[in-house]
Structures are given as C-alpha cells and as structure tokens.
Structure 1
Amino acid sequence: MKKSITLDTFDENGASLGKKRFYTTLDNKESINKWLKTFEPTTDSILGILMADSPDFQHNNHIAILNFMPTNNQMKNTITPNNLIPTSIYFSVRHCIKATWINDRDQFLSPNTKWEKDTEFHSDCLAFMLFHGQNRITCKEGINHFIPFSEKDIDAAEAFESYFMQDFLQGKIKPDSKSTDSKSLFKDELDFIPTKPLIFSDEAKEVLQAGKELFKHYHEQTRDSKDYNPNAALYDIKAHFQGFNDKGKMNPPQKAQDEAYKQKLGELNYTLKNLAKKIEVKVYEYGFLLK
C-alpha cells in the first residue's frame, strides 16, 4: 500500500495552487497531543489552562489559553513553569499556519528531538503565544501571569499582581531541588525553565516591541478611568477598545473608536504574521507536520 499520494491542486477559478501530498499512513507516528502530555505539570504554580482538541487543522480554532478549566469535553492541559515552553510550542505550531480546505485534515505529530536544543525556537514560540489572539487570559478571571513587561516599560500606574513572566524571561524563576548546570540554559533536558535570560530572534523582538506599544497605549489612555486595571491582559485591552455586541461577542477591531489603538494592533498583527512564517519553517523541519 502506498504511504502517500501527490495531487495537483487548483482554486475555484482553475488556477494552479501547486502540488499537495496526502498521507495514507503515518507509520505509527504519535500525535502532537500525546507529545504534549509527556510534559506533565510538576508544581502547584498554575499559570493557566491550555484548551486543545484533535490534532488536525480543522480543530485549530479550539486551541486557546484560558484562566480556568473549561467544562467542555475537549483536551485540557494545566500550564505551569516547567511546561510553559512546550505548551507555547504546541500552541504556536497549531496556530502559525492558516487552515485551508487543502490542509484541514493534515495531522500534527510528535516531533523529532531537534527542537529540544533550539532555544531561539522556544523563545519565538513563547513570544508568539503571548500576543496571539487565542491567548484568552483575562485579569477579570484571575491573576494575569502573562505580562512580559515591567510597570515602567508600559507606564502602568500601579504594581502588577504577578511578575512571573518578567522573571521567566530573565531566567529568575527559582530552581527546584534539581542540580543546575550554570553552562546550560535549562535545568535539565526535560525541565524547560530558563536559568539565563531568553534570547529572542529579530522577528520575536518586533512582536515584543509592538506588544509593548499596544500595552503602553492602553495604560496611557485608561489610567484615569474607572475601568483601568494595571494587570490588563491582551484580551482585556482588546475588550476595552473594541467592546462587545449584544450577544456578548467581542466586536472586530474596525469597531474601535481609537484610531491609534487600531494602528498599534495592526502593527502587532503584522509582526505576528512575520514571526509565524519563521516558526512555520521549524514546524516541518522538526516533524510536527509532514511535507
């Protein structure tokens, strides 16, 4: 039996979209969901919840970061410091490539081991996850542990409730009882807590800078309002400027009245797209998807 078949693909107007390989067997490769489950949370420091679903493109819109455990039947994974990096990788791998009618049945797989030493890839995925729209962390439902900036960076008027993400990026999270090799970025091969400041690619730095400008704009515009919250997450900032419709769904950015906000959000989304293209290359290199 053939393991794959390659077909020509065309759009609705008959224009060629190139060739697409479809796999009839994956040679018993494990799914990305089983891979993520190997990174079990080992502490009581719960940062949030990853909501996941079947490992194919058609279910990617269900992949989200939340404050609390949802009550649906989808896969949930508790996020703690030791599995934050693998969770970020899972999230980014699932969201960096747009779902289409051509790829919607493609399966996300357990990767080869090359990703483990690629610390720039780790940092890229963390930056991507922090500012992606499916990061639904909100300070209205609990402590926001996902602010990567200091109060001074974004002109916050009050102290944050959590400095976890700042400390994580700087390699300041307190090690557990395991021995630490000062020459290594991480405490051991399966515990992805940095012991040194993370190094970001140029694309990830642009995301962080655009994110900082968006956060700073929120604090500058709302610090004197009754709705101001120094712990606002990306979701809270979008909610503030965009509002919600009568069905409780957030309005699109075009509904926002603040033109500067729309510009800064557009710049953030542009940098996210550039970072997504960089991550996409590694998705195939490390075997999360088959070409």
Structure 2
Amino acid sequence: MGEKKFFNLPVNTYLNVWLDRPKPNSTEVVPLKNTVSPYTSKKYLNKWSDNAVAYVWSQNNDLQHTATQTALFSSVWGDGHGFYVNSENLRQASVVFSVRRLIKPTWINDRDQFLQPSEPLTDEFKNDCLIWMLFNGSNLTASANDLEWNDKKWSIVNHFIPYTEEEVGAPERFESDFMVRYLADKQLSPEAVAVLEAGKKLWQAYFTHTDEHNVRDELKLNRADVGWYQIRNALKRRNESGDVVPVSFTEFETAYKLLTEKLQPQVYELGFLRA
C-alpha cells in the first residue's frame, strides 16, 4: 500500500494569490447565478472592471472545491469569490481555470492545495490551457438580451468566440471579435488546433437550424454571438428531439480528451500540485 504525503505550506505559495486581480469600477452589470440566469440572493456583486471581458469564479484553493467552484462567466458571478479577466491577465486566468479543473478529486487527493508553478510555463502550455478552457464544460460565457434583474433588462456579451462569423456561417455580426484577435498571433499545438477545428464544426452545425421556442427561451438564444454552453446544449436538445439529423460530438470529444491527457501530467510536473 502506498503512502500519502501531506505538505504544510504557507498560503502565499497558493495558486489563488498567484495572479494580480483587477479592481472593480463603478459600472453596474447583471450578477449571474449560472450562464444566463440573474442572481437572486440579497447580497451580490454587481460591479464590472476596466477592460474586462469575463469573470472567473474561483472559490477556495483545495481540490475538493475547485471541481465545483471554477467557472467562466460573461458577467460577474453574483456571490463574488473570483476575479475579472482582461487581455492582460487572460493567459494566467486560463492557466488557473484549467489547472483547477484538469485533475479529478478523490478521497486521497481532495484536500490537496493548488500551488503557484515551480517551473517556467511555456507558451505552448499557456495556449493549450486557453483552448482547453474555451471548450470546457465550465466555460459559461454567453451572449443574451433581456435578462431581467433589479427591475431592469440587461444584456451580456460573449467575448470568447474563437471564430469569425464567416467561418461558422453566422447570420449576423458578433458584437465582439476579442478572442479571434487575441488568438491571431498565437502558435497553437497540434492538439489545440484539433480541438479548435472540431469545435468549429459544432458551431457550424448550430447555425444550420433554428431551435424550438422553448429551447431558445431556456438557453436565451436571442443573439448570434452565443457561447459554447449555449451551442453544445442547443445541439444536444436537437439530438434528443429526433427532429433533425443528429450532430456527432465524437470528433470533438476525442480531440478534447487528447488535449486533456496532454495537460494533466503537467499539473504535477510544473508544481501546481504535489503528488
């Protein structure tokens, strides 16, 4: 039987204090409790930050919590406990997001704390983390109009679409091309490119049909610049309905699994977790 090692390390070595957290400004935004649902509790965070494009919920620093308390939103997570994302900290943000989500908690490791990296991070690792985050199930960025909160209607904008309108056959312009511009000068690994290409086919498939009213209402599909959460769930609803030719996720899932398997050992090799 093997032995489990425990490390008593100072909190200033923890991952959750690794990156600089942009400060909020006075701009009010709609707080969210999930992808497109406004927050309903009495205490909430509803301020944005200069040049922010997203918000990462990253509560707690141990493995047992990070699996359920790590997500990316297009507005603030109403309960706070996270940080704003802008072009300056996006690479760090994607590393933090991915590292917190890549390793599954077990009864053996669930109390382990995430640490700041002990080795230099390559551009390939950072870019792999960015693509992995963009297509993770906890990327809850979205675009939607008419979200009702605090007696007003609000809109949220998705800045995390890695394709142009022409590439995916969108019928209208996207409000933001932030991610396309951000990726333009990045050299991606073959594994990351495979995920991007497989994801593009799913985006294209989404725009070939218009969903039923109840699906459009549930997922707030009232804009062209929808997010990954909206895309994949709309396609799954279509597959379940039997009304259209099913869209296969196999190519995407295979590519994403290969990228995941590439990144997982690096969480330990780079010092984010200790075995």
- 2:165 aligned to which of 151, 159, 178: 151
Q: In 2, distance between residues paired with 1:286 and 1:163?
A: 32
For residues 41 and 150 of structure 1, do their structure 2 counterparts lie closer, same or farther at Cα, with a shift above 3 Å needed? farther
Aligned residues: 233
SS at match of 1:168: helix
Q: Write out per-residue CA displacement over residues 138-182 of structure 1, whole angstroms, 9 at most, x where no aligned residue.
A: 111511100111112111111111010000111xxxxxxxxxxxx
Q: In 1, distance between residues paired with 2:156 and 2:50?
A: 15
Q: In the alignment, residue 148 of structure 1 is paired with which amino acid?
A: P
For residues 24 and 90 of structure 1, do their structure 2 counterparts lie closer, same or farther at Cα, with a shift above 3 Å needed? closer
Contact 2:168 2:204 survives alignment (8 Å): yes
**1:254 to partner: Cα distance:** 7.5
- 1:104 aligned to which of 96, 106, 110: 110
Q: In 2, distance between residues paired with 1:28 and 1:153?
A: 45
SS at match of 2:108: coil
Percent identity, please. 33
Residues 1:281 and 2:265 aligned together: yes
The correspondence of residues 6-85 of structure 1 with structure 2, limited to 5 A, is: 8=1, 19=2, 21-26=4-9, 30-36=13-19, 38=20, 40=22, 44-60=50-66, 61-72=68-79, 75-85=81-91
Match of 1:179 in 2: none
- 1:128 aligned to which of 124, 127, 132: 132
Q: In 1, distance between residues paired with 2:62 and 2:212?
A: 45
Q: In the alignment, residue 51 of structure 2 is paired with which amino acid?
A: S
- 1:210 aligned to which of 191, 195, 198: 198
Larger radius of gyration: 1
Match of 1:272 in 2: 256
**1:241 to partner: Cα distance:** 3.3
The correspondence of residues 183-262 of structure 1 with structure 2, limited to 5 A, is: 197-222=185-210, 227=221, 229-242=223-236, 255=240, 257=242, 260-261=246-247
Q: In 2, distance between residues paired with 1:41 and 1:92?
A: 23
Unaligned runs of 5+ in 2: 25-48, 145-154
Contact 2:21 2:83 survives alignment (8 Å): no
**1:239 to partner: Cα distance:** 3.4
**RMSD (Å), alpha carbons:** 2.6
Q: Write out per-residue CA displacement over residues 15-50 of structure 1, whole angstroms, 9 at most, x where no aligned residue.
A: xxxx353214236661110113x3546972111110
